[in-house]
Structure 1
Amino acid sequence: MEKAQLSQDISNVFDEVIDILNAIPQDLFNKVPFEDSWTIGQVAEHIAICSRGIPDSHVKEAERPYDENEEALKSIFLDMNQKAKADPAVTPHLPPHQKENLVEKIKANKILLANTIKDKELLQLCLDMEFPFMGYLTRYEWLRFVQVHTQRHLNQIKNIQAHLLN
């Protein structure tokens, strides 16, 4: 497993999220683009909630390949035609949202995730929480989830932004 590649992939998607959020005017940040859509601020809050670490206070050695669920995670979260309702625990608040506050939270999460990659054994199975329909994930898989989940919502932000600017 290549920690450097995982670290780079996470860094890249977080940098892109931070850059796009910084470029969006505050007046568009809390604007509802269309019916049944979150605002950009809500998407940013959701990213901040979902990327503030992984459930790894209790771990054990995995008895399967450390990346067994990687492709499934990618296919689920990078397919923008698949829709799912967010769990209430990670559902963002109603607007308004402060852009600077959320950008700072996302920057802090990026550092936290980079430190997890650098300092922890990524092959271990995380026992604090099961992933829906997949069971327990390794630290590596949780980190890939954060990456592809963040990429999905980056795509959503771009779509909302395009809609608001038209």
Structure 2
Amino acid sequence: MNQLVNGHLEKTRKDLVKEMTSLSEAQFNSKADVYKWSIAQVCHHLVLVEKASLKAITWGLKGSNSRKNVPLVLLDRTKKIIAPKIVEPDKGPFEVEQVVNWLNDSREKLMNFLSTIEDKSILAEKSMKHPALGELPLDQWIEQIYLHEQRHIEQIKEIKLLLDAR
């Protein structure tokens, strides 16, 4: 896998953890609105998405290919994307350290799996259906992990502002 993607995965995760670790447990689990997710739930959702992405990449190694403009879709927060049930977060409450550990564990599993793929070019040749993006090449499944985190980091910043305003 190319260094650019590895760098984005690493930097985005550091940014996410930085946003989380500055919070008390109460702030981490508070909701700005009864119908919205808490920061803890957003982070739990990211863990679930990374785990589901790893499964999709694993299964998708048997498929074919169809490329999408993933950044355009995922980074446009004016368009709400409904999370499939499989990646909806639990109600909580959560502890910051617990979720950081889950994030570290899911990333370690992803990176360990990716390191077992000898010919990384196969990731651009094979695809798997993504719930929001449709048929997606496996290298773009990897790309969507950090783009999805970037999308939710912005959401976390907005939630922090709303919680501060109360």
How far has the Cα of 1:87 moved from its partner?
A: 1.0
Number of the residue aligned with 2:147: 148
Gap runs ≥5 in structure 1: none
More helix by share: 2
Amino acid in structure 1 at the alignment position of 2:155: Q
RMSD of aligned Cα (Å): 2.1
Aligned counterparts, 1:1-166, within 5 A? 3-52=2-51, 53-58=54-59, 59-60=61-62, 62=64, 68-69=67-68, 71=69, 73-120=70-117, 121=120, 122-127=123-128, 130-132=129-131, 134-166=133-165
Bigger mean CA deviation after superposition, 132-141 or 20-29: 132-141
Gap runs ≥5 in structure 2: none
How far has the Cα of 1:138 moved from its partner?
A: 2.2
- The whole-number CA distance in structure 1 between the counterparts of 2:134 and 2:163 is 38
Bigger mean CA deviation after superposition, 135-144 or 151-160: 135-144
Residue-by-residue CA offset, 1:16-41 (whole Å, 9 max, x unaligned): 11121111111101111124211011
Q: Describe the SS at the equivalent of 1:55.
A: helix
Q: Describe the SS at the equivalent of 1:137.
A: strand
Calculate percent identity across the aligned residue pairs. 21
- What TM-score do the two structures reach when normalised by structure 2? 0.84
Residue-by-residue CA offset, 1:71-127 (whole Å, 9 max, x unaligned): 2x2111101111122111111111311221111011122223333444322224145
Kept in 1, the 8 Å contact 2:65–2:125? The answer is no
- The whole-number CA distance in structure 2 between the counterparts of 1:88 and 1:17 is 23
How many residue pairs were aligned? Answer: 158
Kept in 1, the 8 Å contact 2:65–2:137? The answer is no
